[in-house]
Amino acid sequence: MKRTASLDPVTHGPGTSHLRARLEQLFNSCGIDIDGPNAWDIQVHHEEFYSRVLADGSLGLGESYMDGWWDVRDLDGFIYRLFAGHADEKARTWRNALAWLTASLFNLQRRSRAFQVGEQHYDLGNEFYEGMLDARMIYSCAYWEHANTLDEAQEAKLDLTLGKLGLRPAQRVLDVGCGWGGALKYAAEKYGITGVGVTIAKEQAAYARRSCQHLPVAIRLQDYREMREKFDHAFSIGMFEHVGVRNYRRYMRVIRRCLHPGGRFLLHTIGNFQSTNHTDPWINKYIFPNSMVPSRQQIERAIEGLFTVRGWQSIGGNYERTLLAWRANFERSWSRMSARHDERFRRMWAYYLSACAAAFRANKLDVWQVLLEPVA
């Protein structure tokens, strides 16, 4: 049965009062009051909210927001304060332990599961993403140093990324996880390259093929592990988060075998300051199944003996603004999206974009551009 928000004031029984006091203590340590006056203070509508969050942690917090059990005027500000106050570390539940154990025992990103994230997340519909992203449909951190709009910031990011490869006309370039084809299209138009892009999302592949149909670019619905052709250079923007630590070494071997001598590989990925083997339980269930964010140590172990690092740039300070721009676009486009998606979906996406923006504001995550050259 779907949980719904109560519009009446919440009444608390003896058990509920005890649970509220426990959660209130945690929130107060982060500068948050329950039913307080500040924009970041949450307003609770359902008496089971406290037991749900204490039992299920981040999953319970996200799901209860989706179900309308609480509201807050400044959603990203509320979640930022939780991160800044280390509430995510203080309130780990059995679900975190289960996620770690499951990822330790099983390869969650094995080939048979590779297309799952495409089906659940990226195949929501191209019209949906057109309403949220920039004109080129780039679904990764933009670069705002000299930009005023999302379109300008994403073009600047492409210039930053592709400029590191030293592309020349007629070179053959591989885009691993090409999304809607925007980066490869830009590379073909600006640098005169030919290219191949691979993605595991059907809707993305269809869109990219239409977008690149007049260019020397091939788009394939294909797992990266199947690539065996040779290329002058390769890049991957925002795809490594789906590879999984059990597959990092194999991933790098695939890239290495696909490069001609002297080729370069540019890896653009979200980065974690601590090594782990899984993602947040709510993110895994509702947004990116089987995902995880790599640490620097995990990347370095994966490339040992295969690649030399020629550059490692941090641009994570740009992601909060990118995510908030996506959220603003999503909210502006909701009136036409609502014909296909319900209110719970709207709250889910608002929570996802706000939580990610908060994580970057709190410096829980970074974005790295790693320039690699094969070891001779």
pLDDT tens figures, 76-113: 999 999 999 988 775 555 355 444 434 444 454 455 45
**Domains identified in the chain and CATH numbers:** 14-92 (no CATH), 111-316+363-374 (3.40.50.150)
Helix (H) or strand (E) holding 129: helix 126-130
Query: Concatenated DSSP letters for 265-284?
Result: EEEEEEEESS--SS--HHHH
Strand pairing class (217-221; 43-44): unpaired
pLDDT band at 132 (very low <50, low <70, confident <90, very high): very high
Mean model confidence pLDDT for the chain: 88
100 residue type, one letter: W
Q: What is the pLDDT of residue 16?
A: 74
In three-state secondary structure terms, 6 is: coil
pLDDT tens figures, 262-282: 999 999 999 999 998 678 889
pLDDT band at 312 (very low <50, low <70, confident <90, very high): very high
- CA dist 236 and 176 (Å) reads 5
Phi, psi of 291 (to 5 degrees): -90, 165
In this structure, are residues 243 and 251 in contact, taking their beta carbons and an 8 Å threshold?
yes
Catalytic residue among 30, 178, 258, 356: 356
- CA dist 44 and 11 (Å) reads 11
- CA dist 53 and 246 (Å) reads 31
Q: What is the pTM of this model?
A: 0.88
Locus of tokens 């071997």: 253
Locus of tokens 């209130």: 24
pLDDT tens figures, 44-87: 999 999 999 988 888 999 999 999 999 999 999 999 999 999 88
- CA dist 311 and 323 (Å) reads 25
pLDDT tens figures, 192-211: 999 999 998 899 999 999 99
Q: Is 356 a catalytic residue?
A: yes
Q: What is the pLDDT of residue 5?
A: 40
pLDDT band at 290 (very low <50, low <70, confident <90, very high): confident
Helix (H) or strand (E) holding 87: helix 87-90
CB-based burial, 304-336: b 16+ in 10 Å, e otherwise: eebbeeeeeeebbbbbbbbbbbbbebbbebbee
CA 240 and chain centroid, separation? 10
Q: Which two tokens stand for residue 350?
A: 């608002």
Q: What is the chain's alpha carbon radius of gyration, rounded to the nearest angstrom?
A: 22
- Greater confidence (216 vs 200) lies with 216
Burial of residue 182 (number of CB atoms within 10 Å: 0-12, 13-18, 19+): buried
| Residue 305 pLDDT > 70 | yes
| Residue 159 pLDDT > 70 | yes
335 residue type, one letter: S
| Residue 172 pLDDT > 60 | yes
Least confident of 68-77, 112-121, 170-179, 325-334: 112-121
- CA dist 113 and 2 (Å) reads 29
pLDDT tens figures, 13-51: 545 788 899 889 999 999 999 999 999 999 999 999 999
In this structure, are residues 63 and 355 in contact, taking their beta carbons and an 8 Å threshold?
no
